Structure 1
Amino acid sequence: MTSTTSSASSTLPPPPPQWVIDLNTPTSSKPKSNSFPDPPGYTAAASSNKKSSAKDKAPAAARKQPSTEEMDTLKLKKAWEVALAPAKQLPMNAIGMYMTGNSLQIFSIFMVFTLFKTPLTAIVNIQQQFQRYETDGTKEKMLGLKIVYVLVNLAMVALGLYKVNAMGLLPNTRSDWLAWESERTPLERAFPVWEM
């Protein structure tokens, strides 16, 4: 009889570890551990009172609406950030141009394509960029911002033109194979020795 009870107890699986039991039990409010004391001046009742009083005061202290002049000033600041944002990309693009080199590769061609496409698209869509910042009070100042925006984007196009020239793709020199110049007449003619 003892052999049957020992065989039955050996077939039972061992109990799971404590961490499995902790994961499977639903979370309940655990009592505060006494290993860490409260900081000086902390009481649980005072903190709950502060939270409830802050919630009560929040609706009472409503934020004052800004005046139209303040809103115009804020919109002009944001419009200046939009106008100068392409200038922040100039150093990154210049470093990228330097790193891709002047040979014809897929990376350098893609870089040149981006240097032309991005600023030209931005110039075409200039009205949509500044439309949300334009009010009756900021209309006169927006013209200057748009001019700065166009100039910064044209600087990006100039960077692209420089890269195209460095790659040798810009036809700025006269070349015989393109037939852009007349045939050159030599100053001296060399004759082989046996013709003399």
Structure 2
Amino acid sequence: MSTTTTIPTWVADLQSPPAAKSKNGSIPDPPGYPSQLAGSKDKKAKSTTAAAAAPRKQPTTDEMDTLKLKKAWEVALGPLKNLPMTAIMMYMSGNSLQIFSIMMVFMAFKNPIMGILQTQQAFERFESETNKSGLLQVKLAYVAAQLVALALGVWKVNGMGLLPTTRSDWLAWEAQRDPIEFAVPGL
């Protein structure tokens, strides 16, 4: 008795893919797409495959410096892109002394200070001998953006009432203001 096993059609389809469809000559290949017709005698197809097979030209030092400077500007303006979200989070956390608002204030001071201290490390990958002067402006813009973020933290601390802004906060002999009214919570 012989057993014949038939393989499923999907296995047969995977083992022998369908033949390639012929290309319509009226529709050109998209730019940068190598032609599938390697054996074609069409000159256009040969030039397309030759251009696709050619190695890419290495950028010059001026082009690399320009690209590095653009990427450095993206890094420098990064803190400014985070400011709207930070401001909304600070506004929404309220002015009372709670754990969330205290953490927000801590991060509002920690991140800009660490950013200012690590300015050199943030831009050392973009630095070369020919673009040092342009990179100095980028670093100054980065430090200015970090100072703006730090000012946002100071705004939050002032809103929470933690900054000493009245005379009685600074002078020991200055009497505190007497409140005009008292509020007693109901039981």
Q: Same fold (TM over 0.5)?
A: yes
Q: CA deviation at 1:174?
A: 2.9
Gaps of 5+ in 1: 1-21, 185-196
Which of 158, 174, 180 aligns to 2:171? It is 180
1:29 aligned to 2:29? no
Q: CA deviation at 1:106?
A: 1.3
Which of 139, 158, 168 aligns to 1:165? It is 158
Separation of aligned partners in 2, 1:73 and 1:179 = 52
SS of residue in 1 equivalent to 2:165 = coil
SS of residue in 2 equivalent to 1:136 = coil
Separation of aligned partners in 1, 2:75 and 2:58 = 25
Separation of aligned partners in 1, 2:79 and 2:22 = 50
Q: CA deviation at 1:110?
A: 0.9
SS of residue in 1 equivalent to 2:162 = coil
Report the equivalent of 1:193.
none
Separation of aligned partners in 2, 1:102 and 1:39 = 71
Report the equivalent of 1:97.
90
Gaps of 5+ in 2: 1-7, 26-34, 39-45, 176-187
Separation of aligned partners in 1, 2:23 and 2:64 = 45
Q: CA deviation at 1:115?
A: 0.7
Which of 105, 111, 117 aligns to 1:112? It is 105
The question of whether the paired residues in 2 share the 8 Å contact of 1:174 and 1:181 is answered with: no
TM-score (norm. length: structure 2) = 0.68
TM-score (norm. length: structure 1) = 0.66
1:76 aligned to 2:69? yes
Q: CA deviation at 1:165?
A: 0.6
Query: Which is greater in Rg?
Result: 1
Aligned CA distance change for structure 1 residues 56 and 183 (closer, same or farther; 3 Å): closer
Q: CA deviation at 1:105?
A: 1.3
Separation of aligned partners in 1, 2:170 and 2:115 = 37
The question of whether the paired residues in 2 share the 8 Å contact of 1:97 and 1:108 is answered with: yes
The question of whether the paired residues in 1 share the 8 Å contact of 2:164 and 2:170 is answered with: no
* Aligned Cα root-mean-square deviation (Å): 3.4
Cα deviation code 1:167-189 (max 9, x no counterpart):
011122233xx6724255xxxxx
* Higher fraction of helix: 1
Cα deviation code 1:115-163 (max 9, x no counterpart):
1111111111111111011111110111111111001001000000010
User: 1:92 is aligned with what amino acid?
Assistant: M
Separation of aligned partners in 1, 2:94 and 2:72 = 35
The question of whether the paired residues in 2 share the 8 Å contact of 1:115 and 1:157 is answered with: yes
Identity of aligned residues (%): 51
Separation of aligned partners in 2, 1:32 and 1:139 = 57
